[in-house]
């Protein structure tokens, strides 16, 4: 039997030409999905970082084998920092800071993510020059794999430190004077606008505010939200006193407002801690809340439910703020480039309006 061969100008009836499509390489996202873990956790396993639980490590390795995943060499180089710790640095050394449940809740949120890894969390209070030098030394010598920065004030030197850091940096809150690349914040301006609009809708017309620190992003954004709402309503938005985000500051500011405007009928207060101090002053002055003066706070800390009366306030997801900061930092440590994140706020209506 003679085999017929195809040549130029010739065809063979049963000849078949097949072209194989090159096999697409699986992605890191597909590995993470198969393993049932986050992308950052998958990346840390693949890059042999030590900060992942045994169960997740085994799940990722199975997924890698199943899919035939080949890691990217550049991502591997970025993800193999192994100091074994990250820093939460707060620009403040006021002991009263830790009387504010806000910071405690942020730490709980950060820890809820890190406890799924083997990373240690270090806390740094870095307002003094000595504290800043200590943090700078820690980062320069790479004794930490990353840093989360909170509560920066104005031209805070921590901003320059962050810009020169050789490790990933995530900001908690949006600083006033520059645009960070990686940050997690709450919708402070929108939340303050909601609070003030609620007071206007309740029929209040002589509305004041007690602000937090105005050299911080959150303090300024909440003042702007207050001013936005009153400008739209055509009402005076100049009744402003600063309470520095402290309970005693709220008391002092409320006293000043009553002296300036005895006819005020509502106050938006930029933190629940300050609102607690203001409520105390109003009670001493014989002002009924909400009969004479309506009050709205901000943060929705646990004690806001137990004031007299229970406090209407703006809920910002404080635990989620800490949690998302930690997740963003882990993603950066794994070689990812996450987008900035703004968390939503919402009004929680109780009995103070």
Percent residues over pLDDT 90 in the chain: 57
Task: Check the CA dihedral 210-213-214-218 and report its sign.
Answer: negative
Taking the C-alpha atoms of residue 97 and residue 315, their distance in angstroms, rounded to an integer, is 20
Please give the CATH superfamily to which domain 28-78 belongs.
Answer: lambda repressor-like DNA-binding domains (1.10.260.40)
Q: How confident is the model at residue 93 (pLDDT cuts 50, 70, 90)?
A: low
- pTM score, two decimals? 0.76
DSSP label of 105? H
Alpha-helix residue ranges (DSSP H) falling in 124-271 = 129-140, 157-163, 188-201, 217-233, 247-260
Q: Which CATH architecture has domain 85-186+319-343?
A: 3-Layer(aba) Sandwich (3.40)
Please give the CATH superfamily to which domain 188-315 belongs.
Answer: Response regulator (3.40.50.2300)
More confident call, 100 vs 4: 100
Query: CATH topology of 85-186+319-343 equal to that of 188-315?
Result: yes
Q: Look at residue 51 in the predicted model and tell me its pLDDT.
A: 62
Domain extent listing, the chain: 28-78, 85-186+319-343, 188-315
Q: How confident is the model at residue 340 (pLDDT cuts 50, 70, 90)?
A: very high
Q: Look at residue 164 in the predicted model and tell me its pLDDT.
A: 77
- As beta bridge partners, residue 120 has 85
Q: Look at residue 179 in the predicted model and tell me its pLDDT.
A: 86
Rg (CA), the chain: 28
DSSP label of 22? P
Give per-residue pLDDT as tens, 29-71: 889 899 998 877 787 788 776 567 788 889 998 999 888 887 7
């Amino acid at each position: 039997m003679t085999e017929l061969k195809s040549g130029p100008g010739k065809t063979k009836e049963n000849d078949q030409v097949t072209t194989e499509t090159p096999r697409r390489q699986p992605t890191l996202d597909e590995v993470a999905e198969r393993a049932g873990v986050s992308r950052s956790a998958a990346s840390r396993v693949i890059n042999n970082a030590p900060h992942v639980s045994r169960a997740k490590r085994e799940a990722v390795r199975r997924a890698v084998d199943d899919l035939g995943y080949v890691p990217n060499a550049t991502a591997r180089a970025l993800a193999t920092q192994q100091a074994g710790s990250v820093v939460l640095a707060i620009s403040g050394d006021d002991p009263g800071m830790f009387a504010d449940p806000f910071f405690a809740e942020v730490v709980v949120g950060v820890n809820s993510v890190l406890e799924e890894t083997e990373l240690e969390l270090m806390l740094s209070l870095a307002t003094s020059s000595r504290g800043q030098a200590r943090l700078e030394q820690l980062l320069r010598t790479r004794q930490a794999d990353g840093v989360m920065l909170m509560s920066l004030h104005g031209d805070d030197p921590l901003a320059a430190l962050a810009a020169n850091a050789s490790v990933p940096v995530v900001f908690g809150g949006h600083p006033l004077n520059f645009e960070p690349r990686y940050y997690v914040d709450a919708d402070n301006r929108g939340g303050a606008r909601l609070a003030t609009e609620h007071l206007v809708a309740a029929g209040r017309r002589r509305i004041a505010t007690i602000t937090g620190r105005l050299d911080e992003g959150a303090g300024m954004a909440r003042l702007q939200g207050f001013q936005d709402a009153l400008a739209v309503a055509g009402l005076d938005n100049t009744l402003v006193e600063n309470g520095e985000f402290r309970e005693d500051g709220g008391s002092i500011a409320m006293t000043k407002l009553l002296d300036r405007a005895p006819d005020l009928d509502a106050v938006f207060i930029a933190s629940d801690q300050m609102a607690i101090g203001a409520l105390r002053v109003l009670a001493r002055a014989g002002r009924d809340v909400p009969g004479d003066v309506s009050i709205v706070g901000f943060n929705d800390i646990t004690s806001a439910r137990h004031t007299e009366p229970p406090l209407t306030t703006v809920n910002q997801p404080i635990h989620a703020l800490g949690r998302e900061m930690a997740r963003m930092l882990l993603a950066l440590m794994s070689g990812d480039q996450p987008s900035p994140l703004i968390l939503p706020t919402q009004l929680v209506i109780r009995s103070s309006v």
